[in-house]
Amino acid sequence: MIIIFIFLLIFVLIILVNTGGQISSLSKNKHDVTHIVKEIEEIQDVPIERVAIYKTDNQDATWAHDFKRSSIREILNTSDTNGRLQYKTDMVDIDHPLCEVVKNYFPESHHTLRVCSKNWEFKSHFDCAHNRVVCIHGTKRFLVFDMYNHPNELDILKYTKNMPIDTLKPFLEKHEIMVHDHYLQPGDELYIRPQMYHRVESEDSSIIVGHAPPMKYMKQCTDKFDKIWPKQGKLCTNSRCIE
């Protein structure tokens, strides 16, 4: 047990050194996405059998209310705020050429691909693993904030759950909660430390690739997630959590 503890301590210290101890960090123009964008344009009309339809839901956060047959072109051109579209896949079961294209550029395991329509939002939440996001197309705004285990964490979360970023950011700053505001453009990579809350918004349609390999000894975090968002916990029956 002592050896395991020492190993974990060294691992955490390495991560903190590499990220400067920050809750998040943005690397501008880290990836050249020119070629992958061209390849995606060539297959944007290939049908996707299962694309989620998201509607505004002020009670349960951001949820897929239904599914439909669609395409990359339709997703990127949809602007209905009451019928946002998202194709999300972990690329384990390749059922669309888009997954093959992305895997050629991001071959490691534990990648997740999202194609989102315009006027996108995903309400404040935290992830339990190290999270890296690469923007392929469009733009994305991430507000990252350090509220995990805050004395008033649940009360603040409940009060702010429907706040857009422009309202949420000054509220958090007023309550002395550390905040990072990031704008992702094509080629940018964002790193978010485990257990950091973040809210995501975008007026543009977008394609992003996420990388979040599972960590050992994070059951306490996942149990907390399931307690705060029980509906999401029931939908996510495995670590891939595609629904």
Are 231 and 60 a contacting pair, CB within 8 Å?
yes
The CA distance from 115 to 208, in Å, is 7
Q: What is the reported pLDDT for 126?
A: 94
Reported as a pLDDT band with limits 50, 70 and 90, residue 15 is: very low
Q: What is the reported pLDDT for 58?
A: 52
> Of 98, 117, 88, which Cα lies nearest the Cα of 205?
117
- Which range has the top average pLDDT, 59-68, 142-151, 155-164? 142-151
Q: What is the reported pLDDT for 51?
A: 93
Residue 155 has pLDDT above 80, yes or no: yes
Are 137 and 205 a contacting pair, CB within 8 Å?
yes
SS3 call for 130: coil
Mean pLDDT of 61-74: 84
Are 133 and 25 a contacting pair, CB within 8 Å?
no
Give rounded-to-5 percent helix, strand, coil for the chain: 30, 30, 40
In the chain the domains, ranked by start, together with CATH numbers, are 22-235 (2.60.120.650)
Which pLDDT tens digit goes with each residue over 84-103? Answer: 899 999 887 777 999 999 99
Which pLDDT tens digit goes with each residue over 102-119? Answer: 999 999 999 999 999 999
